[in-house]
A and B are shown apart, each in its own frame.
Chain A
Amino acid sequence: DIQMTQSPSSLSASVGDRITITCRASQSIANCLNWYQQKPGKAPKVLIYATSSLQSDVPSRFSGSGSGTDFTLSIRSLQPEDFATYYCQESYTSGTFGQGTKLEIK
């Protein structure tokens, strides 16, 4: 089974900051890595798929990179609506999610 580990588990930042969230796979998953944003009581929303492809209607301040086992999600110039929980997901084998990173306002 592939394990997905995100870090940090939580993060405090201010509006305008740039942040990075890391996702590590327990084995190589090529570029089969997606990122989602979830707000309380809502379904998740895909931000990035296939490591670095920006989903339509997602602001360009979101970006993704990586390959193999190590991946990152970056958000530049945080906006108030970006404070949420973020999940990575591998789609190389099944669809395992990371445990999530909660982004809070400092």
Chain B
Amino acid sequence: QVQLQESGLGLVQPSQTLSLTCRVSGDSVNSADSHWSWIRQQPGKGLEWIGSVYRSGTTDYSPSLKSRVTISMEASQNVFYLKVSSVTAADTAVYRCARAPRYRAQSGFYVDIWGQGKLVTVSS
């Protein structure tokens, strides 16, 4: 079955760059059927869409995070990445990678497979 696994440092210093990797098994990040996405959840808060990457390298970011976020992929390793620059305590959250299949025959997508999540704490 399809599985996603996040990895990266769990503690990042303020003003530094948060970097996470999502390793995909059971599917290909080169699939024409899906976007590959990052979503976060601050402690006790709701879900926040960060952005996604498609096999062509096309990316889409949340307007509120766009200036600080980069999402990319490496098809040969079947992974995709998240970088968030200039982090503050407000970026402390559980970060989840996810598969987002496209709707059939129309634009739009939904998330059907999630990673288990990686807690990243921003603190000195």
Contact = CB atoms under 8 A, between A and B. Distances in A.
A94 B51 contact: yes
B103 A49 contact: yes
B21 to A, nearest CB: 18
Contacts of B64: 1
Contacts, number: 69
A95 B46 contact: no
B contact residues, range: 20 to 34
B112 A91 contact: no
A95 B100 contact: yes
A contact residues, range: 20 to 34
A36 B114 CA distance: 12
A8 B120 CA distance: 30
Contacts of A38: 47
A29 B11 CA distance: 37
A89 B39 CA distance: 12
A66 B62 CA distance: 24
Interface of A: 1, 30-32, 34, 36, 38, 43-44, 46, 49-50, 55, 87, 89, 91-92, 94-100
Interface of B: 37, 39, 46-49, 51-52, 60-64, 96, 100, 103, 106-112, 114-117
